[in-house]
Structure 1
Amino acid sequence: MSTRAIAEIVDPHRMSTAAREAFTDELYAAHCEIFSGVDRKAFAKYVVSSPAQRTRIQVFRAQGRIVGYAAFHVFERELEGRPCLVVRSEVGLLPAYRRGTRFGWFLIRETLRVLRASRGRPVWGLSCATNPATYRTLARHTDQVWPCSDRSTPPQLEQLMGSLAEQFGLVPVQGAASGVYHVGWKTRQDEQEIRQWERSEEPASRLYLSRNPGYPQGHGMLILVPISAAGMGRTALRLCATQLRRRVRRLRALGATPVPSSSLS
Structure 2
Amino acid sequence: MKEAIKFKILHPRKEIYFLASPVNPSVYAVFAQYIHKLYPKYNTIIPLEIEDLMMNLADEFGLEIIDKKNPLIRKIGWITKATEAEKKFWQKSKNPHLKYYIESNPDFSEGHGFLILVPLSFLNGLISFFYFIIFYTLKKKIRYNLRRFLA
Compute the TM-score of the two structures, normalised by the length of structure 2: 0.85
Question: SS in structure 1 opposite 2:21?
Answer: strand
The 1:233–1:187 alpha-carbon spacing in structure 2 relative to 1, beyond 3 Å, is same
The 1:114–1:174 alpha-carbon spacing in structure 2 relative to 1, beyond 3 Å, is same
Do 2:21 and 2:76's aligned partners in 1 also have CA atoms closer than 8 Å? yes
d(CA) in 1 for partners of 2:142, 2:78: 33
Between the two proteins, what is the percent identity of the paired residues? Answer: 24
Q: What's 1:256 paired with?
A: 148
The 1:252–1:191 alpha-carbon spacing in structure 2 relative to 1, beyond 3 Å, is farther
d(CA) in 1 for partners of 2:126, 2:51: 26
Do 2:65 and 2:74's aligned partners in 1 also have CA atoms closer than 8 Å? yes
Q: What's 1:158 paired with?
A: 51
Matched, 1:221 2:114: yes
Question: SS in structure 1 opposite 2:135?
Answer: helix
The 1:151–1:242 alpha-carbon spacing in structure 2 relative to 1, beyond 3 Å, is closer
Cα deviation code 1:54-95 (max 9, x no counterpart): xxxxxxxxxxxxxxxxxx475xxxxxxxxxx6xxxxxxxxxx
- Relative contact order higher in (CA < 8 Å, ≥ 6 apart): 2
Consecutive aligned runs of 4 or more in structure 1 exceeding 4 Å deviation: none
d(CA) in 2 for partners of 1:187, 1:214: 11
Q: Which is worse superposed, 215-224 or 181-190? A: 181-190
**Which stretches in structure 1 are left out of the alignment for 5+ residues?**
1-71, 75-84, 86-110, 258-265
Question: SS in structure 2 opposite 1:178?
Answer: strand
d(CA) in 1 for partners of 2:2, 2:123: 21
* Aligned AA (2:113): G
Deviation at 1:175, TM superposition (A): 6.1
CA RMSD of aligned residues (A): 2.2
Note the 1:1-265 alignment, pairs <5 A: 72=1, 74=3, 111=5, 113-174=6-67, 177-252=70-145, 255-256=147-148
**Which stretches in structure 2 are left out of the alignment for 5+ residues?**
none
* Aligned AA (1:165): A
Do 2:18 and 2:120's aligned partners in 1 also have CA atoms closer than 8 Å? yes
**Which structure has the bigger radius of gyration?**
1
* Aligned AA (1:178): P
The 1:228–1:162 alpha-carbon spacing in structure 2 relative to 1, beyond 3 Å, is same
Deviation at 1:118, TM superposition (A): 3.3
d(CA) in 1 for partners of 2:14, 2:107: 35
Higher helix share: 2
Deviation at 1:140, TM superposition (A): 1.4
Deviation at 1:129, TM superposition (A): 0.8
d(CA) in 1 for partners of 2:119, 2:105: 22
